[in-house]
Chain A
Amino acid sequence: MTTPPKLPTRLLNSFLRGDLSEEVRGDLEEKFLLDLKTKSVFKAKLNFWYQTLHYLRPFAIKKLKRLRTMNNQLLENYFKISTRNISKHKMISFINVFSLAVGLAACVAIYSFVSDERSFDAFHSKNKNIYRLDEVQKFNGTNEQKVALSMPGMGPALKRDFPEVKNYVRLWLRGKQLITKNDTKHLIDNVIAADSTIFDVFDFPLIQGDINTCLDRPLTILLTESTALKFFKTTSDALNNTILWDGRDYEVTGILKDVPENSHIQFEALLSMVTYTSGENNVNNSWGGNWMTTYLLLESTANIKSMEEKFPAFLSKYMDDPDITTTYKLFLQPFNEVHLASNDIEHDYINYRKFNGSYLTIFYLIAGFILLIAAVNFMNLTTARASHRWKEIGVRKSVGAKKLQLFGQFIFESVMLASIALMVALLLDALLIPFLNDLIGRKLSILPLFQNGWQLTAVLVGTLMLGILTGVYPSFYMTSFDLSRILKGGNRVEGKSVLRSTLVVVQFGLAIAMMVSTLIVIQQLSFMKESDIGFDKDQMLLVNMNNEANEKFETIKKELQKQSMIRGVTASGQRLGNNFHQGGFKVKADTGVLSITPSNVNVDYDYLNVYGIEVKEGRGFSKDNLTDNGRAFVINESFAQELRLKETIGTKAGHDWYHNDSLGTIIGVVKDFNFNSLHYKVNTLAMVVHPEWGYQELSVKIEKGRTGEGIAAVKKVWDELVPSFPFDYTFLDAHFEEVYRSDKQMSAVVAIMAGLSILISCIGLFGLAAITIEKKTKEIGVRKVLGATEGQITVLLSRNFAMLIVIAFLIVSPITYYALHRWLESFAYRININLLLFVLGGALALVIGLLTISYHTLRSARSNPVKALRYE
C-alpha cells in the first residue's frame, strides 16, 4: 500500500487550484510515504486527511466559477426587488410580517411549554427500562380506581419470582417532617424512605458518600445539598454527622445534589428503607396494605404483556384471599409516562407537577392552527395583490425571464418575509414570555432554544419551509398568467377566487372554534370553582400538626375559639381535594355482615359544622355522646345507597378489625360532597371520630376580610402551645388551585391562543378588504352615480365577507361541539354545552370581522364618486 487514500485525493482535486496541483500532490505524497515508514498505516492516512484539509486556504482554493457569480447577482437582484416590494406596500407587508410573527411567537411559546413538560425524568439513563408498579383496585362498594401505590412485599417478591426484574426500588413518602440538629429546627418538605437500590435504578447524583453502601444500614439518611446546608455549615460537616427525627438519631451517610425541577420524584431527604425492614416489624413481609410506590428496573428484553398476565398468579401465591385477583389487578406503567399519563391514577402522591399529557396534543394542534391562520393571511394577501404586479411580471417575462426564475423571485420574497417574521417573533417571545410565566406559574424561557443546536436548526428550517410553503401557491398563481393578456392590461378580469374564499373560511372557522372552546372551557372551570361541592373551602386555614399539637388539641381549640375572627376550629386526618384512603369496613345488615371498602377519614367532632357539610338523616358527631368516640359513623349518601338498607341510621357498623360483637353505629348520613377533585365521581365515605389516632391537620375557619389578623392569632397560640413544631400553614382554596392546575394552564393557553387567532384573522381580513374594495372602486363609483345610498354600498361590500364567516361558523360548529363534548367527558361533574355559546362565538366573530372591514367599506361608500370615475 504505497498510494495515498483516494477520497481525500479526490477532495483535494476538487478544490485545489489547478496550477498548484502538481507540487502539492507531490508534497503530500512524499509526506505520506515518509509517514508510512515511521507510523501505522492508519496514522499515515489520518495525517494525509489532516494535510489535505489544511490546504483549505484562500490562496490554494480554486476561484469561484462564473456560474456562481451569476447566481449571486441573481440573489442580489431578488433581494433588491423583494426589499422594494416590501417597503412599497407597507401596510400589506406589515400585516404579513406581523401575523406570521405572532403565529411563530405563539408556536415557539407553546413549544417551550411542551418541551418543558417532555423534559421530565429524562435524566435517568435507564428510564426506558424502568416501570412503576400500579394497581387497579376494585373494592366492594367503592368506585374502581387506578392507584400508584403498591404493597411493601411486592417489590422483593417480584424480584424473586420474575427473572425479567433486574431490580426494584420502593419509595415510601413520609411527607413533611420536622428535623432537628441541636437548636436548628426545620420542616423538611419531602422525606422519602427508599431502598438502597435506588441508585441502581435512578440517577440521582450523590455528591458525597459511598453510592454502594450509603443506604445499607438502618437509621441512615441522605440529605440534598441545600437541606444539609440548613443544618450544617458545609456538606462535609454534614457527612457522617447525625440529625434527629422523630426521637431518633439518623446518621447522614451521603449528600445528594438537589433534585432537578423536572423530576417527578422530589425529595429533600432519603431515609434508608432498612430502618423499616430490619427488626421485628419487617415491612418486607407486609401484604394487604398499599402504601409504597414501587419502581422496577426490567431487562430490556422483558415482555410487559406476558409479565402482566402472570401477575394474578403472583398475587394468589402471596395472598390467600380467593377474591384477590378481582380486587387487585397489577399493571406496569412505563416510567416515562408517569409525569404526563397519570391523570386517571389516584393516590398518586409522588408525582410532582403531574400534568395531563393529552393537553399537550391540544397545544400542538393549537400551534398548528395559529400558524395556518397566519399563513393564510400571507397567501390571501399576496394573491389578492397579484394584479398590482402584473406589469412587473409581464415585463420580466417579455425580457426573457423563465417561469422558474419568476417563481424563485416570489419564493425568495416569502422566505425573506418569514425570516423577518421569525426575528420579530423571537423578540416578541423574549418580551412576552415573562408575562406568560406570571399568568400560568411557569419558568419558561426561549433560551434553551439557542443552546440546543438541533432545536434552533429545526426552528430555522421550519421558518424556511413556512416561507416556501406559503410562497408556493402565490408563486404558481402569479407566474401562470398569460403574457399577452397581462400586457394588454385593460382587461383585468380576475374572476372570483374560490381558493381565497376557502382560505378565509378556514381561517375564521379555526378562530371561531377556538373562541367557542375558550368560552366553554372557562365556563367549565368556573363551574368547578363555584359549583356547590358540598362543603365550604373558602377562608379555611390548614395547619400541619405533630404529636404535641394533637396532645394539646383541645387547649389549642379553646384558645382559638376565643378569637373574634375565628369562626370555627376542627381537625382531620386527611386533607380535602383528593381521594381519601380506603379501608375495610363492615356493616351488619339483616342478611348478615356486609364487607365494604369505602374511603375513610378521621375527623374532629365539629368537622361537619365547620366545613358546612349538610346532614341529611340522623345527626352529626357530638362530644356529649361518649360512644361517638370511635363507635359512631357518619356516612355519605353514596355509601347509604350502596348499602340499600331499610333503616340506615342505627345500623351496626365498624372498621373491619372491629369484633362483630363490638361494632359501632351509623348515626348519620350526610349529603354527598366532593372530597375528591371534580374529575372523579363522589366515592362512598365513612367518617369517624378517633382523637387517639391523631390528626394531620388543624382547620381554622377565618372570617372574611380578617385573614391576616386570623393567621397572626393562630400563629401566636400555636407558638405558645406547640414549641416543638413550627407553625406551618396553607389555605384550602390554594390547595384546590393546585388540584386543577393542569386544567387551568390549559384554559389560559387556549384563551390566549384564541385571542391571537382572532387577532391574526382580523388583520388578515383587514388587508384583504383593503385590496378587494380598492378593486371595486370604479363599480362603487358607478353605483353611487346611479343613486345607490351609502348604506346599500356598505351592505354590498360587507355581504361577501359576512357570508364567508357564516359558512365558517356552520362548518366548524359541529366539529367543535364534538371535540368539547369529548373533553368534558373527562370530568365526572361537568356543564352541559350551551348551544347559545356557539351562537355567541359566531356572532362575535361576525361583528369583529365586520367592524374590521368597516374602515374600508365605510370609507369607500362615502367617497366621492367623481374621484373613483375620473381617469388618470
Chain B
Amino acid sequence: MIETKLGEFEEVILLLTGILGEEAYAFRIAEEFESQTGRSVSIGAVHSTLTRLEEKGFLKSEMGKSTAERGGRRKRIYTITAYGKKTLTAARDFKQALWNQFPGFAIRMDGIIGFTG
C-alpha cells in the first residue's frame, strides 16, 4: 500500500516543483529549497522524496532534452499531476480550517515571544 499522506518536507518539495515548472529537476529543486527555506539539503534526499512522490502519484516525470551543459546529460523533469494539485489544496484547506478554529493566535504569539525572550 502506498502512503498517501503528505509530510511537511514532501509538501514543500511538491510546491517547489510546481513553482519551478519546466526547471523542476532534482538539483534545481534542492537549490530552490535551500534558498527559500535557508535549510540545507542534499540532492539525494530531494531525489529520494521526488521518487516517493511519483510513486504516490502526486508527480510524474520524464527525461528532458540533452543540453550542452552538465556533460550533455539529460535532466529528469518533474510535473505535478492533477491528483498532486488536489492533495496540496486539501492540505492547505485542512490547515486553514485548523487556523480558523484557533482563537488566541495573537496572544499566543506574545506569550511565545515573552517566553523565549
Interface residue ranges, A against B (CB under 8 Å) = 20, 22-31, 33-34, 50-51, 54-57, 59-60
- Report A-chain residues with C-beta under 8 Å of the C-beta of B74: 22-23, 26
Report the Cα distance A23→B30, complex, angstroms: 14
A51 CB contact (under 8 Å) in B42, B48, B75, B76: B42
Name which residue of chain B comes closest to A58, CB basis.
Answer: B48
Name which residue of chain B comes closest to A57, CB basis.
Answer: B48
- Report B-chain residues with C-beta under 8 Å of the C-beta of A30: 27, 69-70
Whole-angstrom distance from the CB of B73 to the nearest CB of chain A?
Answer: 3
Q: Is the CB of B117 closer than 8 A to any CB of chain A?
A: no
Whole-angstrom distance from the CB of A550 to the nearest CB of chain B?
Answer: 70
A-B contact list, 12 entries, CB within 8 Å? A20-B47, A22-B63, A23-B26, A23-B63, A26-B27, A29-B71, A30-B70, A31-B30, A54-B44, A55-B47, A57-B45, A59-B51
Q: Is the CB of B56 closer than 8 A to any CB of chain A?
A: no
Number of A-B contacts (CB under 8 A): 65
Report the Cα distance A56→B69, complex, angstroms: 25
Q: Is the CB of B25 closer than 8 A to any CB of chain A?
A: yes
Q: Is the CB of B52 closer than 8 A to any CB of chain A?
A: yes
Report the Cα distance A33→B27, complex, angstroms: 12
Chain B 3-27: CB-based contact to A (< 8 A → 1; otherwise 0)? 0000000000000000000000111
Report the Cα distance A614→B30, complex, angstroms: 96
- Report B-chain residues with C-beta under 8 Å of the C-beta of A26: 27, 70-71, 73-75
Report the Cα distance A50→B37, complex, angstroms: 20
Q: Is the CB of B26 within 8 A of A27?
A: yes
Whole-angstrom distance from the CB of A17 to the nearest CB of chain B?
Answer: 10
Q: Is the CB of B43 closer than 8 A to any CB of chain A?
A: yes
Q: A23-B26, A27-B27, A60-B47 are in contact. List 19 more A-B contacts (CB 8 A).
A: A22-B73, A23-B25, A23-B74, A23-B76, A24-B47, A25-B71, A25-B73, A26-B75, A27-B47, A27-B70, A30-B27, A30-B69, A30-B70, A31-B30, A51-B42, A51-B43, A54-B43, A56-B44, A59-B52
From A24, A27, A33, A54, name the one whose CB has the most chain B CB atoms within 10 angstroms.
A27
Whole-angstrom distance from the CB of A334 to the nearest CB of chain B?
Answer: 52
Name which residue of chain A comes closest to B44, CB basis.
Answer: A54
- Report B-chain residues with C-beta under 8 Å of the C-beta of A57: 44-45, 48
Report the Cα distance A336→B69, complex, angstroms: 64
- Report A-chain residues with C-beta under 8 Å of the C-beta of B63: 22-23
From A26, A31, A59, A60, name the one whose CB has the most chain B CB atoms within 10 angstroms.
A26
- Report B-chain residues with C-beta under 8 Å of the C-beta of A59: 47-48, 51-52
Q: Is the CB of B44 within 8 A of A55?
A: yes
- Report B-chain residues with C-beta under 8 Å of the C-beta of A22: 63, 73-74
Report the Cα distance A55→B25, complex, angstroms: 16
- Report B-chain residues with C-beta under 8 Å of the C-beta of A34: 31
Interface residue ranges, B against A (CB under 8 Å) = 25-27, 30-31, 42-45, 47-48, 51-52, 63, 69-71, 73-76
Report the Cα distance A20→B61, complex, angstroms: 13
From A25, A28, A33, name the one whose CB has the most chain B CB atoms within 10 angstroms.
A28
Report the Cα distance A29→B27, complex, angstroms: 10
A29 CB contact (under 8 Å) in B25, B26, B47, B70: B70
Q: Is the CB of A23 within 8 A of B75?
A: yes
Q: Is the CB of B43 within 8 A of A31?
A: yes
Report the Cα distance A715→B61, complex, angstroms: 94
From B47, B69, B75, B76, name the one whose CB has the most chain A CB atoms within 10 angstroms.
B47
- Report A-chain residues with C-beta under 8 Å of the C-beta of B45: 54, 57
Q: Is the CB of B44 within 8 A of A31?
A: no
Q: Is the CB of A28 within 8 A of B43?
A: yes
From A29, A33, A56, name the one whose CB has the most chain B CB atoms within 10 angstroms.
A29
- Report A-chain residues with C-beta under 8 Å of the C-beta of B42: 50-51, 54
Q: Is the CB of B44 within 8 A of A51?
A: yes
Name which residue of chain B comes closest to A4, CB basis.
Answer: B71
From B27, B44, B51, B73, name the one whose CB has the most chain A CB atoms within 10 angstroms.
B44
Q: Is the CB of B52 within 8 A of A27?
A: no
B73 CB contact (under 8 Å) in A23, A51, A54, A55: A23
- Report A-chain residues with C-beta under 8 Å of the C-beta of B44: 51, 54-57, 60
- Report B-chain residues with C-beta under 8 Å of the C-beta of A29: 70-71, 73
Report the Cα distance A50→B30, complex, angstroms: 14
Report the Cα distance A24→B51, complex, angstroms: 12
Report the Cα distance A28→B26, complex, angstroms: 10
Whole-angstrom distance from the CB of A853 to the nearest CB of chain B?
Answer: 64
Report the Cα distance A54→B69, complex, angstroms: 23
Q: Is the CB of A27 within 8 A of B25?
A: yes
Whole-angstrom distance from the CB of A15 to the nearest CB of chain B?
Answer: 12
Whole-angstrom distance from the CB of A238 to the nearest CB of chain B?
Answer: 40
Name which residue of chain B comes closest to A55, CB basis.
Answer: B44
Q: Is the CB of A60 within 8 A of B71?
A: no
Report the Cα distance A59→B45, complex, angstroms: 10
- Report B-chain residues with C-beta under 8 Å of the C-beta of A31: 27, 30-31, 43
Whole-angstrom distance from the CB of A47 to the nearest CB of chain B?
Answer: 9
Report the Cα distance A33→B69, complex, angstroms: 10
Report the Cα distance A33→B71, complex, angstroms: 11
Report the Cα distance A652→B68, complex, angstroms: 113
- Report B-chain residues with C-beta under 8 Å of the C-beta of A33: 70
- Report A-chain residues with C-beta under 8 Å of the C-beta of B51: 59
Name which residue of chain A comes closest to B45, CB basis.
Answer: A54
Whole-angstrom distance from the CB of A29 to the nearest CB of chain B?
Answer: 5
From A30, A54, A59, A60, name the one whose CB has the most chain B CB atoms within 10 angstroms.
A30
Report the Cα distance A37→B46, complex, angstroms: 23
Name which residue of chain A comes closest to B26, CB basis.
Answer: A27
- Report B-chain residues with C-beta under 8 Å of the C-beta of A23: 25-26, 63, 73-76
